[in-house]
Amino acid sequence: MKRYLIIGALLVSAITSHAQTNSIADFFQANYDVTNLDEYANRRIRQVSFVLVNWSEYNDVQQRYLDGRYVKLGESHWSETGGVPYRDQAISYARFIGADAVVYTAATNGKYDGFNGIERSDHRVGFYAKQSAGASHSVVNRPTSAEATAAINRAQDAWHEPRVKGGVWYDPQTDTYNWTGPKFGERRSKSASWFLDHFGPYL
């Protein structure tokens, strides 16, 4: 058992280490809420989408990717003198970890280097992969029944509708989410893709 744990740790660590030395690799923090990160690192990515956005737009653009059936593999965030984005390095690292898309933002932070007086900048780089890359990812990353229940209830609260009774349960055999309608007590069964499209923002 100990041997398998060590092997598993080494596989996961592959996504957080890279032979190339640059700020993007040095400051990368993997998103361990995504299971099987090492499987993404084994993918071959031909085309990486690179988007450069204003600092204030970063969260909104990121949410569009998450709502569009992407998972966030991780993020690099650091401060340095100068604000030129490392586009080529970001794309190279995206391919290494199996990401399909990069969202990059940089902005001056009002602090200055004590030696040469140059203003420092914050860099933030997010890496995202399509969930449809493999069947194992689409099933493994499904929200649990408890998470789905919390999400649908948040949506019902936002829409000023009654909460579901008895909660939501996920059926892995049919890849569906099921619940009892709060108003009329009817049985509801929706595909996981439908559920995520409608309630994903509330997860």
Determine whether 47 is exposed, middle or buried from the number of CB atoms within 10 Å of its CB (0-12, 13-18, 19+): exposed
Answer whether 38's CB lies under 8 Å from 140's CB.
Answer: no
From start to end of 131-174, where are the E strands?
165-171
- Tokens 């595909």 belong to which residue? 191
Residues 75-131 pLDDT 10s: 999 998 877 899 999 999 999 999 999 999 999 876 666 566 667 899 999 999 987
Answer whether 58's CB lies under 8 Å from 107's CB.
Answer: no
| Domain limits, the chain | 2-132, 142-202
* Four-point Cα dihedral 76, 77, 83, 85, nearest 10: 10
Residues 138-164 pLDDT 10s: 344 688 888 899 999 998 888 888 998
Range with the poorest average pLDDT among 3-17, 63-77, 121-135, 180-194: 3-17
Of 27, 37, 154, 146, the residue nearest 79 (C-alpha): 27
